[in-house]
């Protein structure tokens, strides 16, 4: 009996040592930026032990680093279930939410990180950036000022402050902060592009062209950079160079257009089975189900923290909170509230133009379809969007289908067809 017991104890010790070794190997791979290897190692560990916060946390960081924001959110959420008092987990999940344009959720996570650690400079910086995106400039400044006392040499904070100065039309200070971010170690196309825009606004066109050209060294096919450089060339009277850039833009646009008519489609639904829609097989989807709403986010693009969120895609929401907040939750009242909200939100954007509004009734649902042009922040991507809403029996569903303005007409037929496939399964 004692011999059997010793064997069991030895096996437990060996298993524990092996598991600990996996965690150390995973941490080493993460530190060396071998993110795919780290994901595989932590996945192997989690297949044997689902109780360790650090395994989910570290795998979440690895997923975040490779741009798989949906899976990183899942892992950070699991880590929070195990340990709800780690401020780093909230900060990282907030970043993941921000990269998929879930700004309210991102702000809530950064706020929780700050609540858990009052001296968490990165969380102040990140929340300030969310406030900046929402044009809450005073709140953003308060967070940036706090962060500057805690992490004055953080290059991301310098970039965020540069954006703040740019939005305040203080282009000289914006240029200084972008330059400071470069001196602190950031060398990215976005940074050169943004500093070029500040130089342009400051009427330093030659310096702007140098930065646009530097940004194009990272990605020669960036049509926004090419377009802005063409405008800068025109300001200097270099019409031939401007024409060359615009010719390049047209070639790039033609080469990037997918064959919409021959796309293979797949049927997806959220976890509760409330929302169903057909999307292209190659597109990705992320699902969220909460007490107050069910949501699907659909994206054609690989989401990247250096990009301005989803470029081509859609978000769909079945909202149970809005009808419960009003005494009059008739279909007409819900639609009127939604339309009023769109108008108010539009006032906070750099640009919001309504091209078309169409009302309809389908399968008992009363609805509305808007075609709009939106630029969320000055200097940002200009989108065209479908705003789609339906209400029925104290329920409201809304969806947004968007693409950059230059590409919207190409995706319009696809968006039209996707809208036709929407199916809502809700309890009457």
In the chain, ranges of CATH 3.40.1000.10 domains: 262-424
Residue 99 pLDDT more than 70?
Answer: yes
Once rounded to an integer, what is the mean pLDDT over residues 87-107? 93
**How many angstroms separate the CA atoms of 186 and 155, rounded?**
7
The hierarchical CATH code for the domain 262-424 is 3.40.1000.10
| Average pLDDT score, the chain | 89
Residue 407 pLDDT: 85
Q: What value does the mean pLDDT take over residues 94-119?
A: 94
Q: Which CATH architecture has domain 13-201?
A: Alpha Horseshoe (1.25)
Kindly tell me if the per-residue pLDDT of 412 is higher than 50.
yes
**Cα–Cα distance for residue pair 315/234, rounded to 1 Å:** 39
Closest to 317 measured CA to CA, from 102, 108, 81:
102
Per-residue pLDDT at 17: 56
Neighbouring C-beta atoms of residue 165, cutoff 10 Å: 18
For 211-237, what is the mean pLDDT? 95
Residue 84: DSSP 8-state: T
Mean pLDDT, range 257-270, rounded to an integer: 85
Specify the range with the lowest mean pLDDT, choosing from 5-14, 294-303, 371-380: 5-14
**Tens digit of each residue's pLDDT (9 = 90 or more) over 299-316:** 986 544 334 445 789 999
pLDDT per residue as tens digits for the range 245-256 = 999 988 887 776
Residues 6+ apart with CB under 8 A from 131: 107, 137, 139, 140, 143
**pLDDT score of 118 more than 90:** yes
Q: Would you state the pLDDT for residue 252?
A: 85
- In tens, the pLDDT along 278-307 reads 999 989 888 888 878 889 999 986 544 334
* Domain limits, CATH 1.25.40.10, in the chain: 13-201
């Amino acid at each position: 009996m004692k011999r059997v017991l010793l064997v069991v104890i030895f096996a437990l010790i060996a298993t524990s040592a092996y598991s600990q070794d996996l965690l150390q190997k995973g941490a080493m791979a993460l530190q060396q930026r071998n993110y795919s290897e780290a994901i595989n190692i932590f996945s192997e560990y989690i297949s044997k032990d689902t109780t360790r916060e650090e395994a989910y946390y570290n795998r979440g960081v690895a997923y975040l680093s490779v741009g798989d924001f949906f899976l990183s959110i899942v892992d950070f959420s699991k880590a929070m279930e195990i340990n709800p008092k780690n401020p780093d987990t909230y900060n990282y999940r907030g970043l993941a939410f921000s990269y998929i344009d879930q700004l309210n959720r991102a702000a809530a996570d950064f706020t929780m990180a700050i609540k858990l650690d009052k001296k968490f400079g990165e969380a102040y910086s990140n929340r300030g950036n969310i406030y900046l995106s929402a044009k809450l400039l005073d709140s953003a400044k308060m967070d940036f000022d706090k962060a500057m006392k805690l992490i004055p040499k953080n290059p991301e904070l310098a970039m965020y402050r540069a954006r703040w100065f740019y939005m305040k039309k203080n282009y000289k200070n914006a240029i200084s902060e972008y330059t400071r971010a470069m001196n602190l170690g950031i060398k990215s196309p976005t940074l050169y592009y943004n500093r070029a825009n500040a130089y342009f606004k400051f009427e330093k066109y030659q310096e702007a062209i140098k930065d646009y050209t530097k940004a194009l060294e990272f990605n020669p096919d960036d049509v926004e950079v090419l377009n802005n450089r063409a405008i800068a060339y025109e300001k200097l009277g270099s019409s031939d160079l401007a024409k060359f850039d615009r010719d390049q833009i047209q070639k790039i646009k033609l080469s990037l257009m997918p064959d919409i008519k021959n796309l293979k489609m797949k049927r997806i639904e959220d976890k509760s089975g409330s929302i169903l829609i057909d999307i292209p097989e190659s597109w990705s989807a992320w699902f969220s189900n909460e007490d107050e709403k069910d949501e699907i986010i659909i994206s054609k693009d690989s989401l990247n923290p250096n990009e301005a969120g989803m470029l081509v895609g859609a978000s769909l929401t079945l909202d149970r909170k809005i009808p419960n907040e009003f005494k009059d939750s008739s279909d007409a009242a819900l639609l009127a509230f939604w339309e009023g909200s769109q108008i108010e939100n539009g006032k906070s954007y750099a640009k919001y133009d309504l091209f078309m509004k169409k009302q309809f009734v389908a399968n008992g649902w009363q609805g509305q379809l808007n075609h709009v042009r939106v630029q969320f922040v000055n200097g940002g991507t200009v989108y065209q969007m479908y705003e789609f809403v339906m209400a029925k029996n104290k329920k409201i569903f809304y969806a947004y289908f968007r693409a950059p303005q230059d590409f919207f007409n190409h995706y319009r037929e696809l968006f039209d067809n996707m809208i036709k496939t929407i199916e809502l399964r809700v309890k009457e």
